[in-house]
């Protein structure tokens, strides 16, 4: 049994009651766009990150604005850690051990993280912890689709916070709730020109969702495995540092790769700390794929293939050739809705409808992002999932 299944069973016992008999699937939504109603909490603000500034200064404006929310978020993590290991020992460990780890991270991430700690006043170790968290606990849905005019569209729900404290009164995940105020859109510029754009959490320097306008779009989903993130991170701490942090790789690819093919090669061949799925869209017909990664290899590449009538690729958190865990099947409902929409009618609007259909939308969903490479457009929305709604 994988750690994920194990954790999921534990969570199931502690979280679900008769009101969530999984799988809870509703009819495919329509006319949800422009975003409105109870599943839409709000628009996402834009910030510029100037890559010409020294790494330690790049995040100052954003962190100055989001400091209070970031402190609240990290306090919530501390509270959970204290509840888990009373006496504050775990947090002590974080404050003593993880700052040392900041020095081992590659450029520019080490300096950026130190800059964020300095501006926010949050202990360095806790900012490091916040940045490691996403490498381990992200569950999501990502779709790349080609419409009948050859436009590539890329959508994703970012679901985060599983197993991190269920708020019984509010029927919500504590960390997911605290993350919503931290969601921002970032415009990374060099020489005053956009290099890439991303939806991100303030305080986090890796990338989970991004677009290089007119060139490619990229999202990353967690891939659970026994040989998972914990082992790679442990190896890193113990000094074996040849693997790359996944979300640092996605950021580096967004920053430096100049074509779909180059991005694909780097994502498929760079050694990683943990397994992952990379969902990549290009700017020409047929350019959309899911790269299924182990730490060392690309295990599988599934690409759009119009000749086979495969006009989209869709990834949640299970290998596409395996059945998803029945308690957590977001793939079947999402694919059902994609097939119902058809290639003729796929657009950012209809993709938003699909990403608004429960359980593709669930209690962990913090944001939905829609990207179109040909226009360079990235838009994102903070989400809520009113009851009845699956916890994941």
Ligand X SMILES: *[C@@H]1O[C@H](CO)[C@@H](O)[C@H](O)[C@H]1NC(C)=O
Chain residues binding ligand X by CB under 6 A are: 30-31, 167, 169-170, 192, 214-215, 258-259, 283, 345, 349-350, 353
Catalytic entry in 4, 28, 140, 385? 140
- Residue 356: strand pairing partners: none
Phi/psi of residue 303, nearest 5 degrees: -120, 150
Under a CB-based contact definition with an 8 Å cutoff, are residues 145 and 351 in contact? yes
Among residues 236, 205, 208, the alpha carbon closest in space to that of 127 is found at: 205
Phi/psi of residue 304, nearest 5 degrees: -55, 135
Q: How far apart are the first and last CA of the chain?
A: 20
Whether 140 sits among the annotated catalytic residues: the reply is yes
Among residues 229, 231, 188, the alpha carbon closest in space to that of 212 is found at: 188
Distance CA 102, CA 96 (A): 11
DSSP single-letter state for residue 345: G
CB of 325 to ligand X, least distance (A): 29
Q: Distance between alpha carbon 255 and the CA centroid of its chain, in Å?
A: 17
Q: Is 35 helix (H, G, I), strand (E, B) or coil?
A: coil
CB of 374 to ligand X, least distance (A): 7
Nearer to ligand X, 62 or 373 (CB): 373
- The neighbour count for residue 35, using CB atoms within 10 Å, is 19
Under a CB-based contact definition with an 8 Å cutoff, are residues 167 and 356 in contact? no
Q: In this structure, are strands 46-50 and 183-190 parallel, antiparallel, or unpaired?
A: parallel
Distance CA 336, CA 328 (A): 15
Q: Rounded to 5 degrees, what angle do the CA atoms 361, 291, 382 make?
A: 25
For 262-274, b where at least 16 C-beta lie within 10 A, e where not — what string?
ebbebbbebebbb
Q: Which residue is listed with tokens 């974080």?
A: 94
Distance CA 15, CA 196 (A): 39
| Catalytic site positions | 140
């Amino acid at each position: 049994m994988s750690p994920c299944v194990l954790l999921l069973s534990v969570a199931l016992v502690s979280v679900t009651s008769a009101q969530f008999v999984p799988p809870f699937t509703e009819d495919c939504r329509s006319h949800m766009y422009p975003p409105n109603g109870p599943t839409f909490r709000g628009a996402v603000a834009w910030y510029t990150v100037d890559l010409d500034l020294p790494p330690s200064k790049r995040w100052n404006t954003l962190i100055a604005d989001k400091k209070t929310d970031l402190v609240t978020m990290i306090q919530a993590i501390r509270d959970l850690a204290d509840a888990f290991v009373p006496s504050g020992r775990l947090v002590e460990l974080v404050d003593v051990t993880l700052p040392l780890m900041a020095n081992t991270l590659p450029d520019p991430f080490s300096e950026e993280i130190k800059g964020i700690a300095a501006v926010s006043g949050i202990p360095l170790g806790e900012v490091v912890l916040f940045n490691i968290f996403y490498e381990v606990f992200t569950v999501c849905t990502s779709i790349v689709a080609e419409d009948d005019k050859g436009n590539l569209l890329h959508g994703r729900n970012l679901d985060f916070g599983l197993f991190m404290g269920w708020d019984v009164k509010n029927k919500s995940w504590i960390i997911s709730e605290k993350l919503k105020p931290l969601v921002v859109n970032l415009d990374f510029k060099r020489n005053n020109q956009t290099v890439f754009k991303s939806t991100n959490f303030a305080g986090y320097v890796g990338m989970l969702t991004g677009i290089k306008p007119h060139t490619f779009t990229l999202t990353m989903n967690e891939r659970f495995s026994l040989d998972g993130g914990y082992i790679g991170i442990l190896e890193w701490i113990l000094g074996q540092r040849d693997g790359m942090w996944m979300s640092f790789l996605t950021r580096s690819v967004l920053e430096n790769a100049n074509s779909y093919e180059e991005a694909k090669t780097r994502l498929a061949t760079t050694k990683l700390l943990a397994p992952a799925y990379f969902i990549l869209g290009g700017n020409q017909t047929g350019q959309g794929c899911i790269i299924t990664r182990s730490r060392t290899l690309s295990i599988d590449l599934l690409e759009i293939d119009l000749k086979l009538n495969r006009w989209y690729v869709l990834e949640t958190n299970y290998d596409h050739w395996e059945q998803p865990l029945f308690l957590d099947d977001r793939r079947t409902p999402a694919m059902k809705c994609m097939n119902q929409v058809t290639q003729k009618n796929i657009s950012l609007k209809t993709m938003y409808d699909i990403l608004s259909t429960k359980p593709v939308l669930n209690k962990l969903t913090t944001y939905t992002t829609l990207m179109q490479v040909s226009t360079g457009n990235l838009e994102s929305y903070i989400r809520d999932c009113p009851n009845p709604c699956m916890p994941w």
